[in-house]
Amino acid sequence: MPMRKPVLILFFMVVVAACPARAKVILRWTEPAIPAAKSLGVSDVALTFDASRSPLLESARRAGYRVFVEATPQQAAELAPAAAKKGIAGFIISVGDAERSAFDAQLEKLRSAHPKLIFRGLNSHGKRPQIRGRMVVEHNGILHVSSPSSQPWVDSNHALVRFEQAFHPGETPLYTFQWELTDTLQRQLGPSAADYSLAIAEAGALRSDLLLNLHAPLQIALAQRDPGAWTLWKDVRKYLEFSAHAAAGSDQALAYVGVITDDFNKSYEAVNLLARHNIPFRISPPARLSLDTFADLDIVILFAAPDKKSADAVFAFAKQGGTAVLVNIRGEFPWQSAAKSKVGEEAASYATGRGRVIEYPGPVLDPETFAVDIRRLMGNRKTIISLWNSLTTVVVPYRDTKSGKTTLELINYAEEPLEVQLQMKGTYRQARYSTPELGCCQAIVPVERDGFTDLLAHKLVIAGRADLEPAAKRDRK
Amino acid sequence: MSPAWMETSMRWSSAIAAAALATAALAPPLAAPSDRPLPTFVHKLKYAMGTVVEIAVYDESLTRASAAIDRGLQEMVRIDRMMSNFDPTSELSRLNHSAYAQAQEVSPDLYRIMEESLNYSRLSGGEFDVTVGPLVDLQKAALRGEHVAGAEEEEKLRSCVGYEKVELIPPNRIRLHSPCLRIDLGSIGKGYAVDRAAEVLRASGIKSALINAGGSSIYAIGAPPGESAWLVHLRDPSGKIDPRVLLAENSVSTSEQTPASLLTDDSAGHIIDPAKGLPLKSSFAVSIVAKSTAASDALSTTLLLLGPQRGKQLLGKLPGTAAIWVSPTGETQLVSSGPEIRITNTVAAGQVQ
């Protein structure tokens, strides 16, 4: 499946990794009849611009929904003055392939002109979350198998959401994806309850909002109160409720790797593979880098050339024991006067005090090996989190800045039960584990091993959450 | 008739996700005979055997195709459980634990896979050997710096492994003639499971299917409608020559060493040369076409260890096979006793047809 990459040159300023308010699912509703909001367990729906002129708008409002209209900036500007009267809560505006900064300016203008309405930017380049095979059918009808690998591949929206969070701090990302129901069976049946649940669980784990497409026959059946459809939706609702209980507020995504980039395209695949390998990372734009930017990081990967001040910050970070990796960046930098050695086939490593700077001369053509290398550079002692028996599982760690509580959000893209072994750096006195199927807060026994804590997440079907209480300071080693 | 969403919950296993295939390609083939129902295309995936397994089927009956794929995938899971070395209750674990004291009765599947394994061990002069797992584990531990074995420990381990210490007693018993021998079917088991899935599909009436286990083990039943065979593109580390093969009632498997590190001097790869105790130094990707996936799986790693020259000698003994070695710069070595492997560009001399 070719990945659509928006041509986005990102120019923004300061990154705040704090996670915004609780993630929401907005249903994209396309059929004329709509069931009550309370029964679906969803409070927001999005209608097309055309539907906003149909009786569906009023039906949705009466059914208890907060109604959003999908529109272009021009359509939103046209409809906004009458929106409140029509019961429209706001507009969802898709970010096109145009320069993102121009889009942001349009959004800001609309927000200023209509402060009582909500205007959300929508990233429509999301991917259907799934495990992915190697068969590809080309447009000329040839089915073939792409390059072999024993590693299962996961299509996730982790990297996409992190880019959105980095370059739009303070805004909850909103994305959508198409189901791409391609074979005869899929087109007839539509996505399963597990497929919907995975999409909802993923967005919740990433603390992102999701505009979810519902298969049209399912919309009709739900509106007609068909028992079978509601049986399916009952399963999906468990995941809506589970995701709604994801922590928020003072939660911060944990990271030990920083990615410095100003270009989505240039760094996307490498970042995607960091996520796939469960390497906690955060993305920062290259402007105004300082030593504070790297405060809690062990490795910094630069895809954008640092200016002199930023280069000095990178050098200081490396002198204090950090590892900086420059990808395809040429120039004169302060660390180049340090002792140089060759690493790998092409890279050069500079010994800088307690750390090092590695210059990799080309673009990352093999992001899988690159991600594995970042883990190698980290070493076992510094790695925050490791998973076993879980090639299809992605874990996203968060820490509450006030209480110190750590939350691990687990997503199993294989959609079938797994026993996942986790090892978390640090010592924890208590762990509680929840899944949509098991319910809330089963006690699991954390086993401490030499500064790390081992945990077993059992019966992980699609989503799981482990809440870890830190050991009291005097108990910590 | 039930609405679509209802069938979704009833008939689709939640464990099976759909693959992302290009919609345009899925229209019924133009060459299908007009007096028959047009074949439907069904494609499912499942995480099994440590990888993503996919089965694609063309069949007139959607229901039959779907059910056959489910049965094929279930069969692979069954074989995987039988051969697990992690599960102490698996049939293979039990054999490893108890077959030294006295010969053990085993299932027809385990007997058959051991027969095939020993056959390839003999053919390859021991390069392929399902008993060397403990030695390789020791060598990997040393490479990770976890446990460096002394010469005496390694020698002792070498003395207790070896395919010739496995005795098959027809029709269904196996005896191990070494107390410290442990059979590991990782290098052939996935291929055997693919072959079993193919048998299940055939028994379900399927005449056109492609089974793919992680891209490295592929088997084709029949051909897509209107075609003579399934086209499979093979691994090309050079990205220049696009090697490909047409499969019909045969298989292809691929092996290559893990790529070298980009940012460190760590050269450890996942394929260890047991004779040297070191990661195999080979930048080739080797793909081999054979009549069964068990055969192509067993031979692919063996050919990588042997290299092109010795590998070609081995294949000379095996009718119905073909192999291609491709280097990162696009140099190829080709050998065939039947199946045709095609390449688009010839990058360097040295092809041997």
Q: Which residues from B are below 8 Å from A229, CB to CB?
A: 3, 5-6
Please tell me the predicted confidence (pLDDT) of residue B345. 62
Q: Determine, for residues A344 and B235 on separate chains, whether the beta-carbon distance falls below 8 Å.
A: no
Question: CA nearest B168: which of B245, B260, B104, B223?
Answer: B104
Q: Are A324 and A358 in contact (CB under 8 A)?
A: yes
DSSP assignment, residue B239?
Answer: S
Look up residue B123 and give its DSSP letter: H
Distance CA B291, CA B131 (A): 24
- Domain identity same for A361 and A392: no
* Interchain CB distance below 8 Å, A141 and B25: yes
pLDDT classification of A143: cutoffs 50, 70, 90: low
Query: Where does a domain end: A224, A244, A264?
Result: A244
**Euclidean distance between CA atoms A82 and A320, whole angstroms:** 58
Tell me which H or E stretch contains B108: helix B108-123
Q: Do B212 and A133 touch (CB under 8 A)?
A: yes
What span, in angstroms and rounded, lies between the C-alpha atoms of B94 and B111?
14
* A119 and A197 inside one domain: yes
B247: closest chain A residue by CA? A144
Give every CB contact of residue A452 below 8 A, 6+ residues apart in sequence.
Answer: A423, A424, A425, A426
Q: Which of residues 392-411 of A touch B (CB under 8 A)?
A: 392
Q: How many domains does chain A have?
A: 3
CATH number, position A310: 3.40.50.880
The ipTM assigned to this model is: 0.80
A451 with A304, same domain: the answer is no
Q: Is A20 inside a domain boundary? A: no
Which residues of chain B does A153 touch, with a Cβ-Cβ cutoff of 8 Å? 52
Whether residues A342 and A407 fall in one domain: no
Residue pLDDT, tens place only, A37-49 = 999 999 999 999 9
Task: Kindly state the tokens that stand for B246.
Answer: 């047409």
Average predicted confidence (pLDDT) for chain A: 87
Residues of chain A contacting residue B12, judged by C-beta atoms under 8 Å apart: 189, 192
pTM: 0.86
Residues of B in contact with A192 (CB under 8 A): 8-9, 12, 14
Domain end, chosen from A206, A225, A244, is at A244
Same domain, A217 and A98: yes
Whether the predicted pLDDT of A445 surpasses 50: yes
Residue A8 half-sphere exposure toward CB, CA atoms < 13 A:
24
To test the contact with chain A by mutation, choose from B144, B262, B270 the residue with the greatest count of A C-beta atoms within 10 A, namely: B262
Q: Tell me, what CATH number does A61's domain have?
A: 3.20.20
**Cα(A295)–Cα(A291) distance, integer angstroms:** 6
Same domain, residue pair A468 and A403:
yes
**What pLDDT does A476 receive?**
45
Q: What is the pLDDT of residue A377?
A: 92
Residue A211 CB partners (closer than 8 Å, separation 6+): A26, A28, A46, A92, A122, A174, A175, A176
A13 occurs within a structural domain: no
Pairing of strands A88-94, A66-71: parallel
How open is the CA angle A174-A179-A183, to the nearest 5 degrees? 170
Q: Show the low-confidence residues of chain B (pLDDT under 70).
A: 1-37, 142-148, 267-269, 277, 345-353
B224 to chain A, minimum CA–CA distance in Å? Answer: 9
Domain end: A244, A271, A286, which one?
A244
A-B CB pairs within 8 A amount to 236
Cα-atom radius of gyration of chain B, to the nearest Å?
22
Q: How is domain B91-176 classified at the architecture level of CATH?
A: Orthogonal Bundle (1.10)
Q: What superfamily would CATH give domain B229-353?
A: ApbE-like domains (3.10.520.10)
For β-strands A257-260 and A281-284, DSSP reports them as parallel
Q: How confident is the model at residue A278 (pLDDT cuts 50, 70, 90)?
A: very high
User: A192 vs B9: CB contact, 8 Å cut-off?
Assistant: yes
Contact B43 A416 (CB under 8 A): no
Question: Please, which residues bridge with residue A428 across strands?
Answer: A470
Burial, A238: exposed, middle or buried (Cβ in 10 Å; 0-12, 13-18, 19+)? buried
Cα dihedral B293→B298→B304→B310 (10° resolution): -110
Residues A271 and A171 in one domain: no
Asked if A148's CB is within 8 angstroms of B215's CB, the reply is yes
Whether residues A368 and A396 fall in one domain: no
pLDDT of residue B107: 98
A363, closest residue in chain B (CA to CA): B262
In chain A, positions 128-187, which contact chain B (CB-CB < 8 Å)? Answer: 128, 130-153, 155, 180-186
Same domain, A239 and A332: no
Is B34-84+185-224 a domain of CATH 3.10.520.10?
yes
Residue A5 resides in a domain = no
Q: Which domain holds residue A362?
A: 255-378
Same domain, A366 and A389: no
Provide the pLDDT confidence category of residue A308 given band limits of 50, 70 and 90.
Answer: very high
Q: Is residue A333 part of a domain?
A: yes
Which of B333, B353, B322, B351 lies closest to B252 in space, CA to CA? B322
A6 part of a folded domain = no
- Shortest CA gap A332–chain B (Å): 20
Q: Which of B6, B216, B231 sits opposite A150 (nearest CB)?
A: B216
**DSSP code of A271?**
H
Q: Is residue A265, in this structure, part of any structural domain at all?
A: yes
Handedness of CA A279, A283, A289, A291 (dihedral sign): negative
A-chain residue closest to B52, CA distance? A152
Please answer yes or no on whether A218 and B4 come within 8 Å at the CB atom.
yes
pLDDT tops 50 at residue A326: yes
Between positions 323 and 352 of A, the ones with CB within 8 A of B are 325, 343-347
A72 with A217, same domain? yes
Whether residues A93 and A107 share a domain: the answer is: yes
Does residue A81 lie in a domain region? yes
Residues from chain A contacting residue B20 (CB–CB below 8 Å):
1, 128, 130, 132, 155, 180, 182
Among candidate residues A84, A85, A32, the one with its CA nearest the CA of residue A60: A32
Chain-centroid distance of CA A310 in Å reads 27
3-state secondary structure A279-330: CCEEEECCCCCCHHHHCCCCEEEECCCCCHHHHHHHHHHHHCCCEEEEECCC
The residues spanned by each domain of chain B are 34-84+185-224, 91-176, 229-353
Residue A414, min C-alpha distance to chain B (Å)? 6
pLDDT tens string B315-344 = 988 999 999 999 989 999 999 988 888 887
CATH at residue A455: 2.60.40.1180
Contact B12, A190 (CB under 8 A): no
